[in-house]
Chains A and B, each alone.
Chain A
Amino acid sequence: MSEPILSLRGVNKSFGPVHVLHDIDFTVRAGEVTALVGDNGAGKSTLVKCIAGIHPVDSGEILFDGKPVHIHGPRDAAALGIEVVYQDLALADNLDVVQNMFLGRERLSGFLLDEAEMELAARRTLASLSVRTVKSVRTPVSSLSGGQRQTVAIAKAVLWDSKVVLLDEPTAALGVAQTRQVLDLVRRLAEQGLGVVLISHNMNDVLEVSDRIATLYLGRMAAELPTRELNHSQVVELITAGRSGDLGLARPDVVTI
């Protein structure tokens, strides 16, 4: 449909003797939600961390906006416009919403922190995402609910004119209403033209909110298909067996090492 903003070609990653990612091809398109699914240990989080620059890839190339790029650290990823919202929320509990959103990239006037400017920008971002659940941007994150924290973490990721946002299980610890809010937010990100990657174990969430579904099976990309061509049981089969009918990995006997 739309142009790929981020593509991975033949990416491999090992931790010592453990080969976690095998020749992964993965594409993120602007304005779309790409769901990344797979069983525990399939390599979802590792893939995300490779894109985020936390783990360097062993081989393969990463194309951003069609150009090959090298991501050596979180700062490189951030400079490209890639932001990650982690499963175990990467927020500092004792800091307030504004401080968290600008963490590592504080705005200054002279030598001092420009609190007024940062507060304004934080409010603006939250407003642009139609976030109404966070009452005061000066509340410490520790006193927010799980959904509010997730909202702050996502807002933090979009504050930087990001092009790609990776969400690692954003709804894992949330209740029904809060999950609803976060999914709406995910959809809104895509509508703003961002490339969104959603990692989730919840099939209902995935089928509801995503445009494409990429399935990892034991470190291999089993299938990457439009959501409308898939149903619930097919996705589950892809996750658990790596194949479903004609879809997925051709020779499962080779895969199950």
Chain B
Amino acid sequence: MTAEEEVVNGGAIEKPTLGARLLGANTFWIGLVLIALCVVFGVLEPTAFLTLFTVQTLLIETAVLLVLSVGMTFVIITGGIDLSVGSVLIFSGMVSAKAMEWVSGGSSTNAGWGVILFGLVVAIVAGTAWGILNGLLIAAAKIPPLIVTLGTLGAALGAASLLNNGSDIRTLPSTMRTTIGYGTSFGYVPNLVIVAVVLTLIGAWLLHTTVFGRHTFAVGSNAEAARRSGIGVTRHLTSIYTLTGALAGVAGFMSLAYFGSTTISAHSTDNLNAIAAVVMGGTSLFGGVGTVLGTVIGVFIPAVLKKGFNIIHVQDFWQMIAVGAVLIAAVWFDQQRRRSRNR
């Protein structure tokens, strides 16, 4: 009873600071941009944009990237970067598909839930392994994250290609595809989206209300101060890259279920998309600042732009230009605000 009360109290204290943080960070402003985009496209094509189908596909298409970006948020808050997430995603999917084929003895098309769960576990383990490798090289061997993950970016992709001689695996359990891939729950909600939302909420909980999250901010803000305060910085960094790897593993399995293929060539820019989403969402590349909510908004801005341009029949390529502009504008705006505050 008392514990519950304390939680309620803690929540009450947290609220104003969270509100202030939102107003202060550019999360709030970028959120407005997202709403404005939705309104503009909604007004231009009300019958096409604001439909259940559009919203559903929009959410499904962003689900995989959202999971990657949640992990990336942690990494960037520590002042690091992880370029390898897309390759780790492919590797995890490939290993998972191979494992499911192996336990089904050949094609896994008719495999049941046991095999599918096995595949999920394998995907997570594969992603986690790359995450641990990244983490140890960065935190223990003290090699810059950019270099380490640039290395594992190539290595994971190469390893994934080696496993099946460079070609995709397209025979996957049909049960997995129809339930996780494009099944829905509660009538309308795509299952893939539920997975992404649950993982995002767990990420937000971890980052904003737990000691793990607090230490993540501390490490990114001043690693030496964190070390002197008795925080195991090496261990913490390693676990963050491990977490990101594990999330990339889950994302690999989600991608497998959605595309019904290992999609070796489809994820080459996932890492940059995730970084762009996180940065657009107000997370500082210098570390110490960031929110999961911001990342969610940052993931949806490119997605909404793309969907909207499709619907109003503007060529898709304009989306890339628009996202680039929004990204640069968001960071510039954020810097200006910081400078004027520090003056």
Contacts and interface: CB of A to CB of B under 8 A. Distances in A.
Nearest to A104: B229
B35 to A, nearest CB: 27
A114 interface: yes
A95 B228 contact: no
A192 B132 CA distance: 47
Nearest to B224: A90
A176 interface: no
**Interface size class for chain B?**
20 to 34
Q: For the complex, would chain B's binding face be called helix, strand, loop or mixed by DSSP majority?
A: helix
Interface stretch (A4-12, A105-113, A226-234): A105-113
B230 A78 contact: yes
B10 A114 contact: yes
Interface stretch (A31-39, A115-123, A197-205, A244-252): A115-123
Given A112-B209, A113-B211, A115-B14, A92 B221 contact: yes
Contact of B229 (A90, A93, A113, A143): A90
A151 interface: no
Contacts of A114: 6, 10
A153 to B, nearest CB: 10
Nearest to B12: A116
Contacts of A112: 7, 10, 209-210
Given A103-B218, A110-B3, A119 B229 contact: no
Contacts of B3: 109-110
Q: Give the 5 A-B CB pairs with smallest separation, nearest first.
A: A104-B229, A94-B288, A92-B221, A109-B6, A90-B225
Interface of B: 3, 6-7, 9-10, 12-14, 17, 20, 209-211, 214-215, 217-218, 220-222, 224-231, 287-289, 341-342
10 contacts: A54-B228, A89-B225, A92-B221, A95-B214, A105-B230, A108-B211, A111-B210, A116-B6, A116-B12, A143-B341
Given A104-B218, A143-B341, 13 more contacts: A52-B228, A74-B228, A90-B228, A92-B288, A94-B289, A95-B221, A99-B217, A106-B214, A110-B3, A112-B209, A113-B214, A116-B9, A116-B10
